[in-house]
Each structure stands twice: as C-alpha cells, then as structure tokens.
Chain A
Amino acid sequence: MRRKQVILFFLIIGWLSPPAVMAIQRFPKPEFESGYVVPDAQLPLPRAELLAWLDVTVLLLTLSLATYLVLKRRSRMGVFLLSLFSLAYFGFYRQGCVCSIGAIQNVTMALFSGSYTVPLTVLFFFLIPLVFTLLFGRTFCAAVCPFGTFQDLVSFRPVRMGAWLNAFLGMIPYLYLGLAVLFAATTTEFIICRYDPFVGIFRLNASFGMFLFAGLLLVSGVFIARPYCRFLCPYGVLLNWMSQFSWKHMTITPAECIQCRLCENVCPYDAIDFPQTKKNPAGQRKQVNQLILLSLLLPLLVLGGVWTGGKMHLTLAGVNSRVRLARMIQATPVSKDQPEIPEITAFRSSGVQQQQLMTEVATIEDDFLTGSRIFGGFVGLVFGITLIRLIRTPYRTDYLPNRGTCFSCAKCMDYCPVLKDKTNN
C-alpha cells in the first residue's frame, strides 16, 4: 500500500527530478488562457563578495594608518578620529560582523571540522590584526576594533581599579577563549557571537538580554575603561601574547624618560609599568624558593585542570544541540496528551533512528571529554604561569607601557613633556 503511494509519487514527479519530500505536485500546473505568465520567484541577491574584500582592504588600511599614527605621528587626536571612522564603518555600517574576535571561532571550526572551510576574507580578518600586533603592538585595539573604540568613546570618568581586581577579573578572558575554542572545535556553537554585547547596538536590534548586557557594559564603561576589552575579550588574549613579543611597541616618551611622573595616573587601563629599582626586602633567596615551588606546582595545576575539565565534560556537552536533543528525548515521557516539543517532532520526521542519534551523541561526548580536558589543562596552565610571573618584580628604570595589556591608544603620550625632536639626533 505504502509502496504503491511511493511509486505513484515518483511517477507523478519523476520527470521533474524529485528534489524534496515536500515538492508534491498535488494540483497540476494550470494552463492559463488569459495570457498570464507565471512569474519567477523573487530571489534578491546577498551582499556582493567584492564588498567583503573591500572590508578586508579597509581593515588593512585603517590598521596601517593606526600604526602610523601611534608609532610615527604619536597623535592621540589622529587615533581618536580614526577610531570614530572605524566605529562608523566596522560598527554601524558593517554591523560588527564578521569581526576579528568572532573569527577565532571560524578558524577553530575550520581546523577541527572536516566539513567547514573558512572563507578567505574571514581568515584575513583573523590574521591581519595578529600579524600587525606581533610587529607593532595592539594598534588594532586602539583605533580599529569597533568594540574597543565604542567603549573608549564612553569612558568619561575612568577610575583606577585595584591591582587585585585587575588580576582577578583578568583571568576571565582566558576562560572565555578556552570555552569559545572548545565549543567551536566541537561545532557546537559560537559563544563569542551569541554573547556579543555590542552588535545589538550597531544593528539597533537585538534581544532584550543582549541590550541589557550592552547597556550594563557601556554604563560601567563610563567608570571602568574598556571593560569588555580588559575582562572579557578572548581575542585580546591572543593579541596580548603577540604584543608581548612585538617588534616595535609604542613608548610613552619619544626620547629618554625624565622620571617626571606626569604619566603615572593617566592610563585608564592600568597598563603603565612604573620604574622599579629597589630590591625586594624579602630577599633574592625567598623569591627563588617561591619560583621553584610554583614551577613544581605547575604540573599539578595542569593536572587539576585536566581532572576538573574531565568532570565537566557532560555539563559542557549539554550545550551541543544534538546532545540536548538526545537528552530531551530521554527526559520526555512519550505520551499522547503532551504538546509535542518541536525538536522531537523534527527528529521523528527526519527519519534518523534514535540509535544513530545515540551513537552520534556518544562520539560528541567523547570529543567533549578530550576537549574539556585540554580546556581544563589550558586554564590550569594559565593560572600557573600567571602566578609564576607575579613572583618576579623586574628591574626597570623608566615608565613603560605594559606590552601585554597596553592598547596603544596614545592617551599617555599627550602627558609626556619630553619633546619629540630630541629623538632625531
């Protein structure tokens, strides 16, 4: 009986090459006598590819200009004006998508998933700022990234944060980066995009929660300068690493520091390292001991991270839609009077057997076990290294920007009384 229907179905539309289940020609195509011509479906085209390459070009140009303005011209005003342009172009015109921050996920997914290839334009959005930062410091943050420039614009009354709060909150970006990579590598979801606070404002359209988050960030951003950049941005972690080993980084003073202390309090991001010439009263001995102890502890921290990560894997896997579906199917008692959950309805009509789903989910959960362990190990390592680096108090004679955390925004330069001309001799 059913087979007959199927045969009939193919007889009817067989010559039309059966494209989909739903394309059932129940009613024949009418033959019009009035001369009516069947119109084509209206299918307007998306944004042309050329414009995506224009974006890459604009990125390259603004980044070069920003670098020039920071390193050569040392012009805060220039940086500010350029940042307005970037905000307008990458923010309000391009609506913040695809941005370099989100591109982390595309690149990760392309690295781990066989089916996804990252578009070249997206790859460039990921790479160009990294390369620039490796050469010249985080000029991308200063004047190109629409998120950074937006927050910079509203930081009217920046207050200095306690060192402890900086250290405490400073750990969040590593977690965020780790989670984003984990979820992207398992093709689960793009959490950076999902919890992106500013695109909603750029588009003037977002969910209520998104607006609330954005509002909170911007209002707190009046007092805490660049809260997203410092305490959330996962791309900032990568830029931080790059910037620490950059070839030419901006300096506060164009020539020799005269120790005038004028720049001491001007950096709203606490990114200026003060001179440090005194000896630690605790003595060299104690520092070395602490260093040895922590270095021995480091593998333990990593192992602890791996262990916790392994424990977490089922929790983290719950974010994956397939895993969620499987759990939903299991948790939902099958009864006729209950309203159907769309996920389950769709699954039933997909023709995939539950066993297939279970096998698939088991593989996903396995991936998550490996991924969560690596993620945990990474977090443990980051904690360990951060602790180790906090033991040393390096000898320093001048006021220097902290290469890792400095956004190269050039704000401090205006406060330096040393004249540029002196550099030239």
Chain B
Amino acid sequence: MKKLLPDEILVKFLRLLAMISGIFSLLICILIFINFFQLKRTDPLNSPALTLLQERLIQNPGDIALKQDIRQLDLMARKVFFTSQWQIRAGGYLLVACILVMIICLKTIELITPKIPSIAATGPEEPWNLRKIQRRWIIIAGILLVTFSLTLVWFTHRMLTGIPAEAGHLKANVSGRDSITGNPVLQSPVASLTSDTVRLLGNAVKSNQAVAEDFPTQQEIRSNFPSFRGPGGNGIAFQKNIPVLWDGASGKNIGWKTEIPLPGYNSPIIWKDKIFLSGAKENKREVYCLGASDGKILWTTDLSKIPGSPGQNPKVNAETGLAAPTLTTDGQRIYTIFANGDLAALDFEGKIIWTKSLGLPKNHYGHSSSLIMYHDMLIIQYDQTVSGKVIAFAGKTGEKVWETARNVKVSWASPVLANTGSRMELLLAAEPDVTSYDPATGKELWKLDCISGEVGPSVTYANGMVFSINEYSKLAAIRLGETPSLAWEDNEYLSDVPSPVAINDIVIVVTSYGVVVCYDAATGKKYWVKELEKSVYSSPMIAEGKIYILDKQGMMHILRADKILAVIGEPSLGEGSVCTPAFGEGRIYIRGNKHLFCITK
C-alpha cells in the first residue's frame, strides 16, 4: 500500500497537532473556570446593586429615572447570566472537540509506531519478596483505616455531645436507676441557667459533709424530687435523659404500674430509690412507699388514728379529695398532711416519728396546699377562711419553730422557695397578695396586691421575677428588687388550677381549659399560644428544656421550652390524671386516677 506521507513526517505532524490541541484545550479549560467563578461570584441575578435600587424604588415609587435604571440594570444582569451560561456551554463543546483531536492524534501515533516489547534485563523480583511487601502494605492500609475511622468517630461524637436538649433521646439507653444517686446534675444546661433558684435551698456552705448534716445539700435536692413541682416547688426538674415517648395502652416504655390502694390527688415525691405518696378515704389515711425499680409497695403506714385527730371528716370538694397535699422529704424523714389537718413525720422505713393535728381546716373545698422543706424546717401554708397562717416545724421533732399570721383569704396554692440572688424567699399567694417571707424566721419581707379570687395556682420564680396567676384575676409579673413592683400583667389566658413555670426569659402559663401560652418574662409579649383542646389540672413541669403538660385524660403534651412552639411529643398514659408528674433520672412517675406509673426509656 502506498502511503501519502512517510510515517516519520506524519508522526511529527500529528504530534504537533496533538500539542496544539492540548495547549488549546488547557486554555479553554482555564477560561471556562474563570467564567464559572465569575458567574458564581457576581451572581448577576441576585446582584446587590439591583436590590438596592429596588429598595429605593419602594421608597420613591414615582421616580421614573430610577425605574429606567432598574430596567437597564436588570436587562444587563440577565444578559450577563445567559451569555455566561452560553459561553460555558460553548466552551465545553470546544474543549471536548480539542481533546478529541488530541486523543485521535495520539492514538494514531500509537497505531503507526511499531510497538516494541521491552524485556527487563533482570527477571522479575522474587514473588515471595513482593508478596511480603504487599502484605505489609495491606496491614498498613488496615491500620490506617481503623485509625481514620476512630478519629472520625471521635469528631462525630464530640459534635453530637455538643447538641443539647433531645440529644439524650438519640443515645442508647442509659440506666436511670443507677444514676439517680450517682451523678450530681450540676452541669446540666438547665441547672446552670436557674441555679440561683435553688442554690440556698440546701446548705451550700456545709455541702462537703453533706451526709452527716441535718438537711440535704442543694445537689442532693436537685438529684431527687423532694416536693410538689420539684425542688423549691418551682416547676423545674433537674433530672436528665427524660423519656418523651411512651404509650400506656400498649405498655410501651411503661416500666411498671402499681395500683395505689386509696385515692388521693397528691403527686409522688422521690428520694433516691423510694417513691412516696399518700391516699385517703373517709376515716382512713395511709402513706405508701414504693420501690423505684419495680414499683412494689415496700410499706404502707396507716395514719388513720393519730393522737388529737379531729375524729370527723372535713367537707371537701370531690376535685380536692381527702389527700390533696403532696408530701415532702428532707432525705431522712418524709412528711405528710391530710385534708383533716393531720400532720405526720415518718422515717424511711415507714415508722412514725411524730404526729400532730392542726385541727380541721376551715376550708370549703378542702385543704390542698402541699408541704415544703427549708433546711430542716417543714413549712406549711395554712390559709383558712379565718386566721390563715404559715407555720414552720422542726423536721426532727415536730416542734414549732415559727408561725406567722396571714391576713389573706383562704387559698389552695402551695408554697414556693426561691433564691432571689441575695436571700431565700418563701413565696405564697392568696387574695389579695403575693407575699414573701424569710423562710428561716417567718418574717414578712414584702407583699404586693396583685391576686384575687380563690387562688389555686402557686407562684413561680425565675431570674428575679415572680409570676402569679389566678382565674378571674390576672397574670402578674413581679420584678423583685429594693421594692418589688408589678412589671406587667395580662388577663387573656388565666388558670385556676395549673401553676405557671418560668425558665430563662420566658414564662409559660397553662390554663385549666387547656391553652398553653408562652410570654416573654420581661415584657409580657406573647410568643405563642397552643390549644391542647383538653382540660388540665396537673401543673406543667420543665425538664431538659422541655415542658411536660399532663392533661386530665392522661396525655402528656411535651413542648419545647422555647420562644418558638415545637411539639416534641404527645404520648398517652391510658389513664386519667390530675397529678403533677415527678422526675427521676431517665424516668417520669405519674400518678393516674388509680395507678402510679413509672415511665422509662
């Protein structure tokens, strides 16, 4: 076959052509990249100049010159956008063409140049040596891989543990039982935010020798759940890893449920691995202690016949019952009060330490104020239709430490203890005042006329502000200071049973007809309103940045304690309830109408 060109010349020519097309394609490549980045950087369709002119036009709608400018700029921007895109596309085709030419040239050279096999002068290396090297490198690869994986895991883990709130839910189950006593929860984000609330509840000075002291430290109080609405009665639990998902009907995440022999609307309290509550019917009053792990009733103490008991049943409303006040504990003894004014202190084995009768309360619905401990003193808000008072008894002996008369109407609210920064205050609410006392002496510190009616909800405290609420009255936000004063008030959504809760800079109100409202604590601005469409008697609790609201049908509405409404879950207990839930590490204890439920993860 005759050739048009000698091979050498053809190869030379092709090589040149390949080189030219190679350089050309490199150039096109660079141009495309420049164009691409320019388009990315300037982003003509969202040019700031255009936005600026648009904004100006909104201010001067009649400016015709401005309109012209915008039209021109808009046209230009679109032109730039589409031209750039066209350029990139055309460049792409050109690039492919160039590379194609280059490849064809090089392939042709390859085809026409004779292929000469090369044989190494020395034979191949010994295979076992090669394989030895290969094995070594595969081992290196394995080690590198594992190291890389574990580093990655470490970084992910750090990233994940940085997530607050629901993160606990994502983690594998952590045994709650073991950590109830184990970990002090001081470092919890919730705890640090409201730490001042409870700092002086325990004796911080003596915290080093906690166990030997007469009363528990703040840490101990926080890691337990010693009273109605948690430490200080403030509606905030410091436990962690709280469940958000359960179902009473199917038994999902229900650790156990135990029938409580006698009815009572008091809520459970928790100390270490024991849960205490009481029940009563006509002429029979009992205190129960349940094991937290299995829900077995460990002991029952009959308090039906204590010395000095009035011997007659008080007239109570069915919705209050004969055992409405929640118990309290100081870690050594538990204290209980019934609707007939019978008061008792028991030890952890159920043995009666002391009893007392305060006399049949003059209270037309029935006494319902829960108990609270301040250091080693048991404090009772004893508001009656006449001669209401607040009393402190020594926990150990039952001796009266102080008593202060209260010039208020009868109420059903419970006492709240708050550290206002400089001191501890005991906060009580009843028409007409919210009153603050020195819990050590019973001396009145201040009072503010801001509440009226038959007061059921207790107050709450957060960051220098006290919030009180009552139906047919108002929601009052009191700013503490030299002279406490009303910061703001609102009367759109009012509660006659559930107490408010406050955390960070929000306050949350739950009405008994099931509306949840979130206010700005400082200004009273409403952030959100949520209708549960169920009635609620239980008080809301905040734990792990979430609000737990239990409606009367036993559905728990878990919302985010935040300015933006987020429903985290609505698990149902399968039994009605009017009691406030108690929180253990990884657990919630809810007293339903018949049973005590332990909810786990």
Q: Identify the A interface with B (CB < 8 A).
A: 153-154, 156, 163-168, 171, 175, 204-205, 208, 215, 261-266, 274, 276, 278, 280-282, 301, 304, 308, 311-312, 314-315, 318, 326-327, 330-331, 334-336, 348, 353-355, 358-359, 361-362, 365, 379, 383, 386-387, 390-391, 393, 414-415
Contact = CB atoms under 8 A, between A and B. Distances in A.
3 A-B pairs closest in CB distance: A355-B569, A167-B134, A315-B156
Given A154-B103, A264-B120, A365 B153 contact: no
A164 B120 contact: no
A390 B134 contact: yes
A342 B572 CA distance: 31
B564 A336 contact: yes
Interface in B127-146: 127-128, 130-131, 133-142, 145-146
B163 A265 contact: no
B261 to A, nearest CB: 34
22 contacts: A163-B133, A164-B134, A167-B134, A204-B92, A215-B29, A265-B118, A308-B150, A312-B152, A312-B153, A318-B156, A326-B170, A330-B165, A334-B560, A335-B563, A336-B564, A348-B566, A355-B569, A355-B571, A358-B244, A358-B568, A390-B135, A393-B131
B131 A391 contact: yes
User: For chain B, what secondary structure do more than half of its interface residues adopt (helix, strand, loop), or is it mixed?
Assistant: helix
Contacts of B163: 327, 330-331
B376 interface: no
Given A265-B120, A327-B160, A330-B164, A387 B138 contact: yes
Contacts of B244: 355, 358
B160 A314 contact: yes
Contacts of B162: 331
Contact of B570 (A204, A281, A326, A355): A355
A349 to B, nearest CB: 13
A335 B149 contact: no
Contact of A171 (B36, B141, B169, B563): B141
Given A335-B563, A362-B170, A261 B119 contact: yes
Contacts of A215: 29
Contacts of B133: 163-164, 167
Contacts of B110: 156
Contacts of A154: 103
Nearest to B135: A390
B89 interface: yes
Contacts of B36: 208
Interface string B156-175: 11001011111101100000
A298 to B, nearest CB: 13
A116 B564 CA distance: 37
Given A167-B138, A175-B145, A390-B138, A355 B558 contact: yes
Contacts of B563: 334-336
B209 to A, nearest CB: 40
B517 to A, nearest CB: 17
Interface of B: 29, 36, 89, 92-93, 96, 103, 106-107, 110, 115, 117-120, 124, 126-128, 130-131, 133-142, 145-146, 149-150, 152-153, 156-157, 160, 162-167, 169-170, 244-245, 558, 560, 562-564, 566-571
A318 B139 CA distance: 28
Contacts of B560: 334
Most buried by B among A168, A336, A393: A168
B531 to A, nearest CB: 9
Contacts of B562: 334
Given A164-B136, A355-B558, A358-B244, 5 more contacts: A167-B138, A175-B145, A263-B117, A311-B149, A362-B169
Nearest to A170: B138
A215 B26 CA distance: 11
A55 to B, nearest CB: 23
